[in-house]
Amino acid sequence: MSARHGQRVLVTGASGLLGAGVARRLVAEGADVVTLQRRPAAVPGARDVTGSVTDPEAVARAMAGRNTVVHVAAKVSVSGPAEDYEQVNVAGTALVLEAARRAGVERFVHLSSPSVAHAGTSIVGDGAGPADPARARGHYARTKAAGELLALAADAEDLRVLVLRPHLMWGPGDTQLTERIIERARAGRMPLLGPSAALIDSLYTQNAVDAVVAAVDAVDRVHGEALVVTNGEPRPVGELVRGLSRAGGAPEPRLRIPAGPARAAGGVIERLWEAGGFGRGGDEPPLTRFLAEQLSTAHWFDQRRTREALGWTPAVSIDRGLELLAAHYRA
């Protein structure tokens, strides 16, 4: 009998890299999986429900008969109207949680982001820290913070909720970070801010999938808290950016900008971009204040609680991940 016999899992956002990877892994291990997302996920062996987490009918249809939810779906971007983020990351999360309660779901793994507790200053070996919508930077971080607080408030013995915050996920197929860095490096538009020596943590894609699947197993005994998930290998930001660029066959970035002026310029560009309505078409500004802060401040996390709680350690090191990424681009 399969180790996941009896697990009936809904994975939201399975048209994205992480959601699809989790759905595939759960199917392979014998779980009964339903996926919900706006465009078909086409995960072999899973039943696909096409719809939005903001649509009560689609959510109810996907939730029927489930006992476990992995909520990955979110609006992820650095620009666009605030109401778009609110609708998906806050109202959508509330809708999924309420549907889970009505359906008698027992386990709920909610995917969040370390940005929910980042106020622009360095993070050096800290734990997760509380989500703080008032101090989080940008529409994405603020709404993900609000959504995380809703998820944690729903935690109870009959609906156990565990929050994971994957940090700077990269690897083959990733369009959010990996391809953006490589494309900008190819175009000569990937700046290094200041000395680029700030230590940052990151997470290889396979490790992210492994951690989420481990959370599905851990949530019965560990719930009501948030865990940051990383490789646990802090590297200077410049080293990581150069490594990703090389792996993608792009020249190493050589453009250097002082960090202070970059942050100020990012704030101005962001406001002009939003005022001009450019983000409504899905385009993103070349620089934002949040991006400048991420590229110039340290942010790495103590992983002891995460690994203890999940019973998980990363299988792929950063160096091995870069080798796999290079092989992906060569192919």
Residues labelled catalytic: 140
Tokens, residue 212: 């989420």
| Integer Cα distance of 229 and 76 in angstroms | 18
For the residues of 35-100, what is the DSSP string, one character each?
A: EEESS----TTSEEEE--TT-HHHHHHHHTT-SEEEE------S-S-HHHHIIIIIIIHHHHHHHH
Closest CA to 217 of 293, 162, 277: 162
Q: At what angle do helices 289-296 and 138-153 cross, to 10 degrees?
A: 80
User: Is residue 32 packed enough to be buried (19+ CB in 10 Å), middle (13-18) or exposed (0-12)?
Assistant: buried
